[in-house]
Amino acid sequence: MAAFYSFDNWSPADVATFERHYNIALGKTEGHDAKIVSDLDAMKTIMVKYKAAELQVLPPHLVGVHPENRDRKLMSAAEMTAKGGKIALVGASRDLCAPSRAWCVQDTNDRACYQWTVKIAASSSEFAEPSPSIGYGSVGCSHWNQWLAAVNQSRSTSCATLKDKIGCIDRVRLSQEDSTLSSLATDGMQWHVIKRDFVHKYPFIPRFFSRALNAEHNIAIGETWDQQLSSICSSAMLLSDGSEVPWDQVKKQIAASQAPCMHDIPAHIQFIRKYGGGSSLSLIHESLAFLNLKMPSGRKVSGRWIGKLSAVPLTTDFAVPRLVHAILKCQACCQAMHCDDFLSRWISESDLKLMYGKNKDMALQAEQILGRLKKVMDESNRSSTLAYGELSIKIAEVVLGKVKDGSITERPDNPPHSACMILNL
């Protein structure tokens, strides 16, 4: 880390100019995005002049993601992979991720950027494993840098043009095909690094940079439905006092995202409040981790349908939260033949009613089995996200009647600690 930043050499006129633009930008971003780019450009010029931001070449593993990147919305592995795959097809360019866009901030004493990157990486195996050496948090070029880190580690990938025979990024082939990509992955990009102590004095600087630099690539596109669910969870955990979540504040913060899914915010919040998995939101986190790995690219699930799913009764006599999440996975990961313009129509609203009507007993049985199965997998000290998710989908299809004459029974000939079962399909 650099020595403590000094403001002693700033001229009074430049201090006044900087703080005027800073306060104007702050006023513009209260509750909504506005035209802050011109103010940011003026601030950038002064920051570079007084070396509050300096140029450095940083290898990908040293740069994590700043918590204020996209207003604390978790990064999407699918979006990262899609961007990396497209760039790999046409060829990497240093000019397209030049220092004009590649801005980062020195990490804080409590390593907020490192911790935030760890949280993002935990959502999907396609992200690189964060290095303990992370010393910076990006507010621009975040997806690109994290993808370069994933290339270096040959992480698993869902992109057919990137993968090798075992389903991981083929680093050797990509490096041979593109020397610029190989150099960027090894040596890194040239970044404008904002001094940590400067941000301590002007704490909203990372937010300004993130909103302005991501406008073209992210905000104008808007959150996908699964990204929005993830963002709601992130905001809820951040704003919670440990016992209650201020959902009105969460809704206001998430509303900073634009179309196409903003109108689904109430349905998404309703689902998370009821079926998220308590204060830890464990169930929704597990579901989103599975969807990051298995959901087809571009798959959509309507907010109206999620609203109907959250309306499934939750009473003392009928509590099926794990089954509800299995049904969400089932809808999001169905075959393309059951979709219309990528919108899943595999499970109808009438199917949902069947679950707590005619098939109520089977639903309760499935919930008990799913609970025991998850516990056994968690205790086995191995990743259960994929195995549990795929099996839960099969169970959900039986309960919903998508498999004719299907049934689920536990195997009585297995030891008590086993959660083995028979799916009679």
Domain assignments of the chain as residue spans, ordered by start: 12-219, 225-424
Write down the pLDDT at residue 133: 96
Share of the chain above pLDDT 70, in %: 88
Length of the chain, in residues: 425
- Locate tokens 């993830």: which residue? 230
Taking only the tens place, the pLDDT of each residue in 169-197 is: 999 999 999 999 999 999 999 999 999 99
Write down the pLDDT at residue 413: 44
- Give which of 36, 39, 33, 41 is closest to 20, Cα–Cα: 39
Taking only the tens place, the pLDDT of each residue in 235-266 is: 788 788 777 889 998 888 777 655 568 889 99
Q: Render 353-409 in DSSP notation, one character per residue.
A: HHHTTTTHHHHHHHHHHHHHHHHHHHHTTS--HHHHHHHHHHHHHHHTTSSTT-EEE
- Locate tokens 């000939």: which residue? 413
> Considering the entire predicted model, what is its pTM?
0.58
Average pLDDT over every residue of 207-224: 62
Q: Lowest mean pLDDT: which of 47-56, 270-279, 285-294, 319-328?
A: 285-294
Phi–psi pair at 204, nearest 5 degrees: -90, 0
What CA–CA distance (Å, rounded) separates 100 from 153? 27
Write down the pLDDT at residue 292: 80
Write down the pLDDT at residue 418: 41
pLDDT-derived band at 382, boundaries 50, 70, 90: low
Long-range contacts of 165-171 (CB under 8 A, 24+ apart): none
Q: Cβ(76)–Cβ(203) under 8 Å?
A: no
- Give which of 390, 353, 222 is closest to 300, Cα–Cα: 222
Phi–psi pair at 366, nearest 5 degrees: -65, -40
Mean pLDDT over the full length of the chain:
86
Taking only the tens place, the pLDDT of each residue in 405-418 is: 667 666 544 433 34
Average pLDDT over every residue of 326-346: 94
pLDDT-derived band at 30, boundaries 50, 70, 90: low
pLDDT-derived band at 228, boundaries 50, 70, 90: confident
Dihedral sign from CA coordinates of 350, 317, 424, 377 = positive
Question: Is the confidence at residue 224, as pLDDT, over 70?
Answer: yes
- Locate tokens 């004719």: which residue? 404
Write down the pLDDT at residue 257: 57
Choice between 136 and 69, residue whose per-residue pLDDT is larger: 136
Choice between 373 and 114, residue whose per-residue pLDDT is larger: 114
Average pLDDT over every residue of 5-24: 93
Question: Is the confidence at residue 267, as pLDDT, over 80?
Answer: yes
Residues 6 or more apart whose Cβ sits within 8 Å of residue 294? 329, 333, 386, 389, 390
Q: Cβ(151)–Cβ(160) under 8 Å?
A: no
Residue 54's identity, in one-letter code, is: E
Write down the pLDDT at residue 105: 96
Q: Lowest mean pLDDT: which of 276-280, 288-292, 392-396?
A: 288-292
Write down the pLDDT at residue 414: 45
Structure tokens at 130: 């964060």
Write down the pLDDT at residue 3: 55
Question: Is the confidence at residue 220, as pLDDT, over 60?
Answer: no
Question: Is the confidence at residue 211, as pLDDT, over 90?
Answer: no
Taking only the tens place, the pLDDT of each residue in 338-362 is: 999 889 999 999 999 999 999 999 9
Average pLDDT over every residue of 102-108: 94
pLDDT-derived band at 330, boundaries 50, 70, 90: very high
Write down the pLDDT at residue 243: 75
